[in-house]
Amino acid sequence: MQFPHVGGVVIGDRVEIGSCTCIDRGSIGDTEIGDDCKIDNLIHIAHNVHMGRRCKVIALAIIGGSVVLGDDTWVAPAAAIRDWRKVGKNAVIGIGAVVTKDIPEGETVVGNPAKPIATTLHRYK
């Protein structure tokens, strides 16, 4: 049996949403998109996501259920964030990264599973 979804979707001011993007309504509470966010084409934002202000989510990204994105977060193309994760303010999720753990404020992560870029620089030398 499917769980009844009684929440909604709250979209802030000056939000841009690209084509073929799916934003799921909340299950009990609302899915919230903060002011001035830019959401590209072909994005999936799952149930109960809380996206802060001025976030940018780029093509083919997947944001799992109940994820919290802090203000000014940037999610690169084809990145995936697992459900129930918290991403701090000013974080950068690199292209194709798979986020399986919370990301602290200001952190830049890359890879699968996503790790701070400082610990993965040896790959690029």
C-alpha triplet 73, 85, 29: angle, nearest 5°: 95
Fold of the CATH domain 9-124? UDP N-Acetylglucosamine Acyltransferase; domain 1 (2.160.10)
The mean per-residue pLDDT over the stretch 95-101 comes to 98
Question: Which residues touch 100 (CB under 8 Å, ≥6 apart)?
Answer: 82, 85, 113, 114
Q: Is 47 a residue of the active site? A: yes
pLDDT single digits (tens) 13-36? 999 999 999 999 999 899 999 999
The one catalytic residue in 44, 47, 50, 122 is 47
pTM over 0.85: yes
In the predicted structure, residue 7 carries a pLDDT above the cut 90: yes
**pLDDT of 1:** 64
